[in-house]
Amino acid sequence: MANISYKDAGVDIDAGNNFVEAIKADVKSTFDANVIGGIGSFAGAYALPTGYKEPVLLSATDGVGTKLKLAIESNKFDTVGIDLVAMCVNDLICNFGTPMFFLDYYATGRLVPENAKDVVAGIAEGCRRAECSLVGGETAEMPGMYSDDDFDLAGFAVGIAEKSEMDTVSNVKEGQVILALPSSGVHSNGYSLVRKLFFDKLGMSLDSEFNGKPLIETLLEPTRIYVKEFKANRDKIVALAHITGGGIVENLPRVLPDGLRAQISKESIKVLPVFKFMADYVDEEEMFRTFNMGVGMVLVVNGEDVEAICANTDAYVIGAMIKGEKGVDLI
């Protein structure tokens, strides 16, 4: 009986090594002065920034969900890495954490180096937008666990915060103003419903025209990263809520104290065309519980800071804090 190799079992070690070499330049482009060493060690090393009185490390992890299916079906892999970074770092800033470094996990049935390189290039671009360093990652080739064309992504972000700044909930008060930072699109939540509606119910294709361009371009628009807006306005921000799965109605209460409600004007929300289209087929309540509806990040601010924040960002007013049972009113 002839001997068999790992490659015969579906795992190509040489392809994996070549892939690591191919991504080194992209990864290195994200490094800042705190990165110690380079890619290829057993662990990524990052020096703690100075200047903090009581530094607290924060961590966040997430994936991209079934949006990956659309990337696979369209053979377009250069944007989902941005989504991966965004879903993690946008959570960190909600606890007043400044992102420091990022790691990724890429699992597939068969490593296609050119596709994986595009994914990592997207991750590197996301890290540059988030001003954090990509210090490591893992690529796992697992035939039998995934089909040849399938892959999955997970991301891990670590940030740092001043302990005294983290308790944002206690700073939220009646009369404060609620601002919206627009989303770039569907972001990375609700894609099981998106795919069910557009492709199963309506019979549309990836190339179907939507809003003047192929539908797939709208659906793969990467998640917006809000780190720079946070850094530029952190001294004026009382609290932040990342609007992901659950929408405004389930995410905004996470930053509210007992006895306060967020009163949101639906008419004030700049709803994106993709959500207006979907709303013809999905109940309004379901839309607001599933999607961001055009609002990717919510800021709670004091009234005297509204003008300054809106002047240097694209934020706009959508509501205010009122007394009442903790929750959200959409009026």
Beta strands in the chain (DSSP E): 35-36, 45-46, 55-62, 98-108, 133-141, 151-162, 177-182, 209-210, 213-214, 237-242, 260-264, 295-301, 316-323, 327-330
Complete DSSP assignment for 127-186: HHHHT-EEEEEEEEE-BTTB-TT-EEEEEEEEEEEEGGG---GGG--TT-EEEEEEPSSS
Q: Name the band, by pLDDT with cuts 50, 70 and 90, for residue 18.
A: confident
Mean pLDDT, rounded, for 322-328 = 97
Q: What pLDDT shows up at residue 13?
A: 76
Q: What pLDDT shows up at residue 284?
A: 96
Is it the case that residue 17 has pLDDT exceeding 90?
A: no
- Lowest mean per-residue pLDDT among 16-20, 191-195, 255-259: 16-20
- Mean pLDDT, the chain, as a whole number? 95
Q: Name the band, by pLDDT with cuts 50, 70 and 90, for residue 80.
A: very high
Mean pLDDT, rounded, for 24-52 = 90
Mean pLDDT, rounded, for 179-184 = 98
Q: What is the pLDDT of residues 268-320, one digit of tens each?
A: 999 999 999 999 999 999 999 999 999 999 999 999 999 999 999 999 999 99
Is it the case that residue 328 has pLDDT exceeding 80?
A: yes
Q: What pLDDT shows up at residue 8?
A: 62
Which domains can be identified in the chain, with CATH numbers? 13-165 (3.30.1330.10), 169-330 (3.90.650.10)
Q: Higher model confidence: residue 12 or residue 70?
A: 70
